[in-house]
Chains A and B, each alone.
Chain A
Amino acid sequence: MDQHNGIVHFQYRSKWWLPFFAPIIFLAIVVITPFAALIAGRPGGLDLGYVFGANPLGELWQKALYNSLVQGVLGALTSMALGFPLGVFLGRYRLRNGNIIRSLLILPFFLPSIVVVTAFISTFGATSTLGTIFPGTRIFGTGLTGIVAVNTFFNAPLVAFLTSGAIEGTDMSLEESAATLGSGRISSFWHIWGRNGMLAALSGGLITFLYSFAGFTAPLVIGGPGNFTVEAWIYFVVKTLSDVNLAVTFSIMQSLILIAPVLLYLMTWSRERTVVVTGMRQRVREGIRGRFYVAGMAYLFAFLAMDALILASMLVESLSNVQGGSMTLEGYRELFSGTITGAFGIWPLLPFMNTIFYGVLTSLLVTLMGALWITGKRRLRSKADDALDSAQFLPMVIPSVVMAFSISVVYGSTFPASLTWLLIIAVQSAVAIPVVLRIISAGFARIPENLWEAAATLKGNAFFEVELPLAGSTVATALMFGFAISIGEFTATNFLSTYTFMPISVEIYQLQYQRLVTASYALGTILLVVSAISFYIIQKIGRGFETIR
């Protein structure tokens, strides 16, 4: 009879509260507490005179905010303008090897920002082959145009990907139903299938705005102080001017500004999730070789060719001899020689080992938190999960450099320098939480609730015997995403790292800083290959498990 006792039942449920709150507790320790402590510990509170006053610091803030807004808006507009047509084409036509094409298209979005920026310098920089032959192309390697180009290179594929997914996901019978009710092509596009694509493109545009507004690597490396975003200035004023007060004011202001677009993004995302159409059939056209198809193929080819050109140029530059003439492996040799020891005072392989170490621990930590959270959520059937889900997007409101800055200020004094690696993993995990938890949530949502209930009534272990085997691809994908985000994360890691603890992404930046350009291209190429391989594994593992299922 104990099983029917209300107290026992409550105890059974209550044991899931801790797992359910695991990510929130983690974010509270790593993000919220340090950020709050930073604000609270600031003498005199928030000095708005800094940001609104007619003084040099006020002007600096206004210029930084202007740069962030301009880069955010331009990045979103160009990404939508270039990505939406491609998404429409991919969503409406079934292409041979479509999955491979999509994988190649979305690859830039998963590349570390430092790799892309380095690739842009190698392609469009003043000393690049293309820049020498066509000087007009150099605008994409420097200044505002360069930053917007980098942001577009990252995010246009994302917009295309989201758009094509939404269009493909439109129930064919809705479009057919509209046609039988007298709706023409334009009306059908506007009201039915195109509408979904446009909403998805807007959602992609919003993400692009968020990433570009809080852009760091491109403004820092190719933009120069005149194009620094708020994020880049926060880094600069702490690292160079050691002005913590100013950095805190900037951080708070930036977070306040980002709350609205993040909430807007979450609203559009949750709306997309709740539209459920049963018995959905996809609208995919095959074998149509009309004008739209030819134009679409030409556009797709141009898109992929541009991607390939930018990424391949880094490989070419990594093999070029500074003195001109034949190809050389000098850049690669420098990476594993005394040059590195001389420049940074470390064992040359240490950044590689750090990269793998951070990647493995971050992916394990975030995936474990995700598994705990989703299991707790399913067992508790929490009514407040929307609010808690939204809280997981906090790392998008408090940008990486602010997180790194606040965690280093608050915990830096209590942690010995030898434990810097722990802070790096903590921040990388916080950055990975919104993405990884979303993947885990989507994967587990496909497993019917009654399966774990059935397992529970049979006295089995519902998680290990039922849910985990069914969500194998989700967990594998989450692990790989965690790894990829870790090796690509540059902003916070660069802030926290010392030479001893730097991973490859930070080493690339340091090599450029030290004018070891060819070596930076070589290391960029290596990181590009590692990222591409991990992305390939994400795709492959995911699909493999799908087939089994």
Chain B
Amino acid sequence: MRPYVDLESITRRYGDFTLGSISLKMGRGSVFTLMGPSGSGKTSLLRVISGLDVPESGRIYVNQEDVTNLPPNKRNIGLIFQDLALFPHMSAFDNIAFGLRSRRLGRTAIDAKVEEMAGLLGISKLLERRPGEMSGGERQRVALARSLVVEPSLLLMDEPLSSLDPQLRLRVRSELKALIRGLSLTIIYVTHDLEDGLYLGDYAGYMSGGKILESDTVEQLYINPGTRELAEFLGYNVIELNGYLLAVHPRDLKIVTENQDISGTVKSFGFEGTDIRIDASIDEKQFLAALVPFSDVHKKLEHGIRLGFRISRSVRLDPGDKP
């Protein structure tokens, strides 16, 4: 029995860039967030899975079916684009009904399904409006409704929250998470935003240079990064100390006056809500960032002073994994 989503050694070349032998397995109803820097191949992988691009080798199975050679319109895989790609000349209703009409459903069934989905996403009053007449959050919901109404076997989402302002982004993200849980959707969610990726995913993978370097549950991936690249992406300091290469999270550094593990010269600092961020140089080549609770800063911070830090937790990285 195959996993619900099973990618077997997918490869595909795009000019100088290669999507290299990617394998991925997912269970039904799980959310896999694919993170990584721009240009790492995340969107390209979604294009291959959706059928917009054809892999040069490898197989794609969804719900036990080999969809590798099926065109995108026969796969029943939904894709929400970064810019949402709502049809500007159609109303919200027609956008949502588009996929149902393509499946040749009757008018009554289409009306019922569109209204049900619109009700679920709270956009019933927007159905007559065109995309140009909606706010960013409303457009987001219409795009989601358009993809969900056709009940896709797998939903691919390509950074759909990236164009929203921070406040709205948090709200839509929360609603999206509730919807995913409520409908038990199977989703591959691409983002370069760490917080989105961790919040939305059950599992997560880190992609770089056309390959998935690491994947695990979101908690494990965050707590135990295995490579320098992922550690840096997650915001860890990567420090050489006593011959070891260590990943140290800024929150795992404490300011101390004695028994220090490491010291640094303050380059800059600033208040970030509950914590103070301190950027310091250990030596000419190494830098570190520390997030220290405001109450723990007993010494007056000044540019150029020397501070000692104790490391409360660190992850040992492969010493050969140098930049």
Which positions in A face B, CB cutoff 8 Å? 171, 173-174, 176-184, 187, 191-192, 195, 274-279
Q: Counting CB contacts under 8 A, is B314 at the interface? A: no
The residue that A180 contacts in the complex, of B79, B82, B88, B103, with Cβ under 8 A, is B79
Q: Counting CB contacts under 8 A, is B78 at the interface? A: yes
Asked if B72 and A176 make an inter-chain contact with CB atoms under 8 angstroms apart, the answer reads yes
Q: How far is the CA of A278 from the CA of B163 in the complex (A)?
A: 11
Chain A residues lying within 8 Å of B85, measured Cβ to Cβ, are: 171, 173-174, 176-177
Q: How far is the CA of A191 from the CA of B97 in the complex (A)?
A: 13
Asked if B87 and A180 make an inter-chain contact with CB atoms under 8 angstroms apart, the answer reads no
The residue that B99 contacts in the complex, of A173, A176, A181, A277, with Cβ under 8 A, is A181
Asked if B150 and A182 make an inter-chain contact with CB atoms under 8 angstroms apart, the answer reads yes
Q: How far is the CA of A431 from the CA of B82 in the complex (A)?
A: 45
Chain A residues lying within 8 Å of B83, measured Cβ to Cβ, are: 171, 173, 277-279
Asked if B52 and A192 make an inter-chain contact with CB atoms under 8 angstroms apart, the answer reads no
* Chain A proximity of B156: nearest CB distance (Å): 8
The residue that B78 contacts in the complex, of A180, A191, A192, A276, with Cβ under 8 A, is A180
Q: How far is the CA of A171 from the CA of B72 in the complex (A)?
A: 17
Given the known interface contacts A179-B73, A279-B82, the answer about A192 and B102 at a Cβ–Cβ threshold of 8 Å is no
Q: Counting CB contacts under 8 A, is B61 at the interface? A: no
Q: Counting CB contacts under 8 A, is B98 at the interface? A: yes
With CB as the reference atom, state the residue of chain B lying closest to A187. B102
Q: Counting CB contacts under 8 A, is B81 at the interface? A: yes
Chain B residues lying within 8 Å of A275, measured Cβ to Cβ, are: 88-89
Q: How far is the CA of A178 from the CA of B85 in the complex (A)?
A: 9
Q: Considering residues A173, A177, A274, which has the most beta carbons from chain B within 10 angstroms of its beta carbon?
A: A177
A–B Cβ pairs within 8 angstroms, 14 of them: A173-B83, A176-B52, A178-B87, A179-B71, A179-B72, A180-B52, A180-B73, A180-B75, A180-B147, A182-B150, A191-B98, A192-B87, A195-B89, A276-B132
- How many interface contacts (CB-CB < 8 Å) are there between A and B? 71
**In B71-118, which residues have CB < 8 Å from any A CB?**
71-79, 81-83, 85, 87-89, 98-99, 102-103
Given the known interface contacts A182-B150, A183-B98, A183-B102, the answer about A191 and B87 at a Cβ–Cβ threshold of 8 Å is yes
Chain B residues lying within 8 Å of A181, measured Cβ to Cβ, are: 73, 78, 98-99, 102, 146-147, 150
Asked if A277 and B88 make an inter-chain contact with CB atoms under 8 angstroms apart, the answer reads yes
Q: How far is the CA of A182 from the CA of B77 in the complex (A)?
A: 9
Q: How far is the CA of A178 from the CA of B89 in the complex (A)?
A: 13
Q: Counting CB contacts under 8 A, is B50 at the interface? A: yes
Asked if B81 and A177 make an inter-chain contact with CB atoms under 8 angstroms apart, the answer reads yes
The residue that B52 contacts in the complex, of A179, A183, A184, A274, with Cβ under 8 A, is A179
Chain A residues lying within 8 Å of B81, measured Cβ to Cβ, are: 173, 176-177
* Chain B proximity of A162: nearest CB distance (Å): 17
Which positions in B face A, CB cutoff 8 Å? 50-52, 71-79, 81-83, 85, 87-89, 98-99, 102-103, 132, 146-147, 150
Q: How far is the CA of A178 from the CA of B72 in the complex (A)?
A: 9
Chain A residues lying within 8 Å of B71, measured Cβ to Cβ, are: 179
Chain B residues lying within 8 Å of A174, measured Cβ to Cβ, are: 85, 87
Q: How far is the CA of A187 from the CA of B72 in the complex (A)?
A: 14
Q: How far is the CA of A179 from the CA of B147 in the complex (A)?
A: 12
Asked if A182 and B99 make an inter-chain contact with CB atoms under 8 angstroms apart, the answer reads yes
Q: A180-B73, A180-B78, A275-B89 are in contact. List 13 more A-B contacts (CB 8 A).
A: A173-B81, A177-B79, A179-B51, A179-B73, A180-B52, A180-B72, A181-B73, A181-B146, A182-B73, A182-B76, A182-B102, A277-B83, A278-B83
* Chain A proximity of B70: nearest CB distance (Å): 11
Q: How far is the CA of A515 from the CA of B83 in the complex (A)?
A: 64
Q: How far is the CA of A147 from the CA of B262 in the complex (A)?
A: 90
Given the known interface contacts A173-B81, A173-B83, the answer about A184 and B102 at a Cβ–Cβ threshold of 8 Å is yes
* Chain A proximity of B75: nearest CB distance (Å): 8
Asked if B73 and A184 make an inter-chain contact with CB atoms under 8 angstroms apart, the answer reads yes
Chain B residues lying within 8 Å of A179, measured Cβ to Cβ, are: 51-52, 71-73
Chain A residues lying within 8 Å of B75, measured Cβ to Cβ, are: 180
Q: How far is the CA of A274 from the CA of B88 in the complex (A)?
A: 10
Q: Considering residues A173, A274, A276, which has the most beta carbons from chain B within 10 angstroms of its beta carbon?
A: A173
The 7 tightest CB contacts between A and B, nearest first, are A181-B99, A182-B102, A177-B85, A173-B85, A179-B72, A180-B79, A279-B83
* Chain B proximity of A131: nearest CB distance (Å): 48
Chain B residues lying within 8 Å of A182, measured Cβ to Cβ, are: 73-74, 76, 99, 102-103, 150
Chain B residues lying within 8 Å of A180, measured Cβ to Cβ, are: 50-52, 72-73, 75, 77-79, 147
With CB as the reference atom, state the residue of chain A lying closest to B53. A176
Chain A residues lying within 8 Å of B103, measured Cβ to Cβ, are: 182
Asked if A183 and B88 make an inter-chain contact with CB atoms under 8 angstroms apart, the answer reads no
* Chain A proximity of B275: nearest CB distance (Å): 35
Q: How far is the CA of A182 from the CA of B71 in the complex (A)?
A: 9
With CB as the reference atom, state the residue of chain B lying closest to A181. B99
Q: Considering residues B78, B87, B103, B132, which has the most beta carbons from chain A within 10 angstroms of its beta carbon?
A: B87
Chain A residues lying within 8 Å of B150, measured Cβ to Cβ, are: 181-182
With CB as the reference atom, state the residue of chain A lying closest to B103. A182
* Chain A proximity of B152: nearest CB distance (Å): 8
Q: How far is the CA of A139 from the CA of B79 in the complex (A)?
A: 56
Asked if A176 and B89 make an inter-chain contact with CB atoms under 8 angstroms apart, the answer reads no
The residue that B79 contacts in the complex, of A176, A183, A274, A279, with Cβ under 8 A, is A176
Q: How far is the CA of A437 from the CA of B51 in the complex (A)?
A: 45
Chain A residues lying within 8 Å of B73, measured Cβ to Cβ, are: 179-184
* Chain A proximity of B314: nearest CB distance (Å): 41
Q: How far is the CA of A275 from the CA of B73 in the complex (A)?
A: 26
With CB as the reference atom, state the residue of chain A lying closest to B99. A181
* Chain B proximity of A117: nearest CB distance (Å): 40
* Chain A proximity of B141: nearest CB distance (Å): 16
